[in-house]
Amino acid sequence: MHITSIPSELIWAVWLLPLAAFAIISPLIRPFPGKAEPASYISIAAVSLSLGLSLWLLASVWQMPDHQLLLSGFNWLNISGGPVFNFGLLIDPLSAIMLVVVNSVSLMVQIYSRAYMRSDPGYLRYFAFISLFTASMLGLITASNLLSTFVFWELVGLSSYLLIGFWFHRPAAAAAAKKAFLVTRIGDVGFLAAILLLYSHAGTLDITTLHSLAVTGAISASVLLWATLGLFLGAMGKSGQFPLHIWLPDAMEGPTPVSALIHAATMVAAGVFLVARMYPLFEAAPHALTIVAAIGAFTAVFAATMGLVMNDIKRVLAYSTISQLGLMMLGLATGGVWVGIFYLVNHAFFKALLFLGAGSVNHATGTFDLREMGGLRIKIPWTFACFILAAVSLAGIWPLAGFFSKEGVLSSAIDKQPVLFGLAIITTFMTAFYMFRVVFLVFGGQYRGSHGPHESSKTMLIPMVLLAIPAVASGWLNANGGFERLLNGAATHGFWLGVVGVLTHPMAWISLLVVGSGIFMAYAMYIRVWISPNRVKWIFRSLYAIFTRKYWMDDFYEKLIVGNLLYHGLFQAFQWLDKVVIDGAANSVAFVTTGASRMARRIQTGQFQLYGIVAVLGIVLIALIALVRG
Amino acid sequence: MSIGLTHYLIVSAVLFSIGLYGALSRKNAIVILMCVEIMLNAANLSLVAFSRFITPDQLSGQTLAIFSIVVAAAEVSVGLAIIIALYRQRKNIDVSNINLLKW
């Protein structure tokens, strides 16, 4: 079957449509602050069209012989005699796949939000921001120039700030938004430094040119190492890698559909995408990939341990996201672009579904606290069905999506980094445990709350059911190696033998065994109570304290870095410098001037005859000088 | 010995110096005004002398001197008016007391 290739004007429309929705809705916020149903139709229509176009685009890219499409766009910055910064689009399989993922998740989240945000006074503002968020992510994905990537990167940061702090009248939400903005900013410094470094050595920021320069070795290895580390620092900030992960759990203060969007497709995916986009540079840089892999694997285990003990359903999911992002980084570093992106795509669907499910549970029970739920499998059966599918997929049970992407990461990790493979296996175990801890606490046993739970409306359930389809099946995209071929040029793995054939590999059984024991342990603790959770808590009380206090990372940053180092150290030093040196210099200039003038003004006696004498003496002096010098 | 330009200029310089000395040293405002007049007349004298000896066929210096005398007359009338106003204000025309324009 041959599909007509998409015309280039429509490729621009992919990211301009949500931007247009933002431009149309945002002027309406003032006059119609509250409920204005048509606004949500505008943004949903924009993102649906955009999704349609990106599907067409993906099909076009699929059947192109070289799978690449470069739209030169226009000269954005033209510095005379110097560089030209081009604002164009780079469409390759990577960006085409990401476009489909972002648009589909965003569409589902927006439909869901129509019900979830129904009675919110900021209804219009919400849809304006979410359109901007989608547009900036789409722009980031398609940018052909590292400079415009950076612009969209910052726009993604801005819109996540706006949405995390959507309920800005809550102090916790305002603080979380600020924290997200500032922490990701630390990473952005690295990104910017990498851009400057690359520009000063390569003379261009065009992504494809940079790729070829890195492959041919035109950029020296040490430059590439520092540049990739800078890029990775940016990715660490956005994708919540240790030690810049601290903003992500706090970002739960935003509306739940926003969390779904941030955690699945837009914000945190940006970091993984950036590493994937600049992958040839990472490959050419010595040790860069090892660092990426090590930080990714460490983050995966580190975040999973905190996910074990959280009592807030959204926080468990947040730590799960951090942990999964770590696995994506590990997959990128050990298996190449396709492993990481395959994981990202699968994760996007089931994690979005989990968050939408958490929102639906919240709708039913009025809380996010796991201790006040229970027994909801009967009360909210549709939510239960969707949530458990997503949880099984995330835990990684054959034949759901999460299993296949996890196989990719595990089998490439064991080839390249056996130690990190161990960390990944531990993470797999903990992932299965904490996901099923949530499932059993929310849906198993008896209801412990006092709210009178009820199923959510169809507007919320339909997007969840639609998302459940890819959450189950997106793993089969690579059943015959198609996904890998598209991103990698060829299916090299040799491990992929179809949906069923994958089970002939021992790795599949290892991971299934680990996942199964994780689920069984959750079952034993939370359904059967063979092992009392409180007893486990008591036995491991020191570990439990460490996990619940999040390794004191927040306290470390707040007290030690912000409090002691910055506030009492650096800022005090700056204040001293300002007061003593700067003010001192200014004050002493003023003091000397007033003192000198206090003396000098005594000459002004007001006696005009004295002035006359001085003037005459002056004339005489001039006359004498003239006489002497001839 | 005929009387030449030098003699006129010496007289003019002596007059000017007397006027200057008086203007800078005396305390009575009217005396100072008179001394200023002496300086002006010294200048007029040298103007006429230069004109007479250097360009005898033109009367430019003399014309300028006439103008200067007219201006001096006007100046004297303004100056005397100021002194009268000052006297009415302070019952005194000692310039050493007129020192408000100072620090």
Which residues of chain A are within 8 Å of residue B95 when distances are taken between CB atoms?
A: 607-609
Q: How confident is the model at residue A403 (pLDDT cuts 50, 70, 90)?
A: confident
Q: What pLDDT, in 10s, does the model give residues B59-76?
A: 888 999 999 999 999 999
Q: What pLDDT, in 10s, does the model give residues A182-210?
A: 888 888 999 999 999 988 888 888 888 88
Q: A5-11, long-range: CB within 8 Å, 24+ apart, which pairs?
A: A5/A60, A5/A63, A5/A64, A6/A53, A6/A56, A6/A57, A6/A60, A8/A71, A10/A53, A10/A56, A10/A57, A11/A53, A11/A57, A11/A69, A11/A71, A11/A89, A11/A91, A11/A142
Residue A584 distance to chain B (closest CA, Å):
28
Q: Give the residue with greater pLDDT, A176 vs A505.
A: A176
Q: What pLDDT, in 10s, does the model give residues A291-302?
A: 888 899 999 988
Two tokens at A361? 């549970």
Which residues of chain A are within 8 Å of residue B100 when distances are taken between CB atoms?
A: 606
Average pLDDT over residues A1-12: 75
To the nearest 10 degrees (0 to 180), the angle between helices A418-443 and A506-526 is 40
Q: Which residue of B has its CA nearest to A604?
A: B102
To the nearest 10 degrees (0 to 180), the angle between helices A267-277 and A221-238 is 160
- What's the pTM value of the predicted model, to 2 decimals? 0.77
Helices (H), A474-559: 482-488, 498-501, 506-526, 533-539, 541-548, 553-555
Kindly report the average pLDDT of chain B as a whole number. Answer: 90
Kindly report the average pLDDT of chain A as a whole number. Answer: 84
Q: Give the residue with greater pLDDT, B45 vs A556.
A: B45
Q: H-helix or E-strand containing A87?
A: strand A84-91
Q: Check CB contact of A600 with chain B, cutoff 8 Å.
A: no
- At residue A86, the pLDDT reads 79
Q: Do A605 and B100 touch (CB under 8 A)?
A: no
Q: Check CB contact of A614 with chain B, cutoff 8 Å.
A: no
Judged against a pLDDT cut of 90, whether residue A620 lies above it is answered with: yes
Three-state DSSP at A77 gives strand
DSSP string, A363-401: HHHS--BGGG---HHHHSHHHHHHHHHHHHHHHT-TTSH
| Cβ atoms A269, A206 nearer than 8 A | no
Two tokens at A628? 């002497």
Judged against a pLDDT cut of 70, whether residue A499 lies above it is answered with: no
Which residues of chain B are within 8 Å of residue A606 when distances are taken between CB atoms?
A: 98-102
How far is A97 from A345, CA to CA, in rounded Å? 8
Judged against a pLDDT cut of 90, whether residue B43 lies above it is answered with: yes
Number of other CB atoms surrounding residue A214 within 10 Å: 25
When CB atoms are compared, the residue of A602, A606, A612 closest to B23 is A612
When CB atoms are compared, the residue of B20, B96, B103 closest to A607 is B96
- At residue B103, the pLDDT reads 61
Two tokens at A108? 């589902």
Three-state DSSP at B56 gives coil
How far is A463 from A355, CA to CA, in rounded Å? 12
To the nearest 10 degrees (0 to 180), the angle between helices A221-238 and A288-307 is 20
- At residue A591, the pLDDT reads 94
How far is A281 from A279, CA to CA, in rounded Å? 5
| Cβ atoms A444, A375 nearer than 8 A | yes
Q: How confident is the model at residue B84 (pLDDT cuts 50, 70, 90)?
A: very high
For testing the chain B interface, which of A608, A610, A620 should be mutated: the one with the most B CBs within 10 Å? A608
Average pLDDT over residues A266-271: 86
| Cβ atoms A238, A184 nearer than 8 A | yes
Number of other CB atoms surrounding residue B5 within 10 Å: 13
User: Which residues have C-beta within 8 Å of that of residue A46, sequence separation ≥ 6?
Assistant: A17, A18, A20, A21, A131
- At residue A37, the pLDDT reads 75
For testing the chain B interface, which of A598, A599, A602, A607 should be mutated: the one with the most B CBs within 10 Å? A607
Judged against a pLDDT cut of 90, whether residue A439 lies above it is answered with: no
Q: How confident is the model at residue A474 (pLDDT cuts 50, 70, 90)?
A: confident
Q: Do A605 and B95 touch (CB under 8 A)?
A: no
User: Which residues have C-beta within 8 Å of that of residue A11, sequence separation ≥ 6?
Assistant: A53, A57, A69, A71, A89, A91, A142
Judged against a pLDDT cut of 80, whether residue A80 lies above it is answered with: no
- At residue B37, the pLDDT reads 92
Candidates A474, A472, A462, A470; CA nearest to A110 is: A462
When CB atoms are compared, the residue of B20, B25, B102 closest to A606 is B102
Judged against a pLDDT cut of 70, whether residue A35 lies above it is answered with: no
Q: How far is CA A175 from the centre of its chain?
A: 18
Dihedral pair phi/psi, residue A73, rounded to 5°: 70, -135
Instruction: Give chain B's end-to-end CA distance (angstroms, integer).
Output: 56
- At residue A501, the pLDDT reads 66
- At residue B81, the pLDDT reads 94
Q: How confident is the model at residue B38 (pLDDT cuts 50, 70, 90)?
A: very high
Helices (H), A265-336: 267-277, 279-284, 288-307, 313-335
For testing the chain B interface, which of A605, A614, A620 should be mutated: the one with the most B CBs within 10 Å? A605
